Amino acid sequence: MSKTWVDILEFPSIIVLTGRRRYGKTVCGFYLLSQIKRMYPEIECYAKGLPEEKKHLLPDYIGYLSPDEKDLPDDSAIFLDESAMFYYARDFGMDVNKAMSILLSVSGQKNQLLIFATHYLRKLDIDIVTDLDMLAFKMPGLMHKHFERREIRPIVKKVYSEFMKLPGKAEEKKKYTYVMSNDFEGFVTNPLPDFWSSELSNAFSGVRVDDILEIRKGKRKGVMSKVWEKYTGGPDA
């Protein structure tokens, strides 16, 4: 019997969505929030990092968290789209990355389900990759098996092969996600969430690079470096 997301989702947990550009990672992330809300009505759902001028595109049950929000709410499910923009691997040691590392460590105790989406795992802070409970692939590109993190390349090669076995053209395979978790490995599918729109699909169009760079450097007021200070006693502790 085939599995569905409802069968394999665990709460709390850390999920990383990866794969080819424009092949459904964002759709899947928002779909998962819709399913989590249905499965756990008491859990609050949020999208973090979405440009503020696009938050009106979210349904009432998905709250908005700014990319420089200093903490993540307890008892929540949070989708962090385009995660590598904010938690970039080459920025390891920056306050934003340090703060997320702390949050990952206590996310289970805080009863959180975190969903990160990125094209390449090698662009994402290593602490996120090593802490994941579920690795979920949208269809990888041909280059993924050559340019991903070295330890991930054999997995990508296998996943790419599994996608090639699916019937239909590449466009028809967008609904599929290949999942690897502690208790399941295989394909699941997801439809578009009922609030989906082309505007939400392109939510980061027009985003200013300077804003992202300032967040990475920890310069914006209220940036997550305050979480680091809270737990360590100071920014340089």
- Summarize pLDDT for 21-31 with one digit per residue, the tens: 989 999 999 99
pLDDT of residue 36: 96
Give me the percent of the chain exceeding a pLDDT of 70.
84
Query: Residue 161 phi/psi, 5° resolution?
Result: -60, -40
Would you state the pLDDT for residue 216?
60
What span, in angstroms and rounded, lies between the C-alpha atoms of 89 and 203?
23
As a whole number of angstroms, the distance between CA 177 and CA 192 comes to: 13
Q: CA neighbours within 13 Å on the CB side: how many for 231?
A: 15
Sketch out the chain's domains with CATH numbers.
5-232 (3.40.50.300)
- A 10 A CB-CB count for 180 gives 15
Per-residue confidence (pLDDT) for residue 235, from 0 to 100:
45
pLDDT of residue 217: 62
How confident is the model at residue 93, as a pLDDT? 53
Of all residues in the chain, the percent with pLDDT exceeding 90 is 62
Q: CB-based contacts of 3: which residues, under 8 Å, 6+ apart?
A: 184, 186, 188
Tell me the three state secondary structure of residue 151: coil
CA gap 44, 58 in Å, rounded: 13
Low-confidence ranges of the chain (pLDDT < 50): 219-233, 235-237
pLDDT, position 230: 46
DSSP 8-state code for residue 221: T
Residue 224 pLDDT: 41
Distant-in-sequence, close-in-space partners of 42: CB < 8 Å, separation ≥ 6 = 75
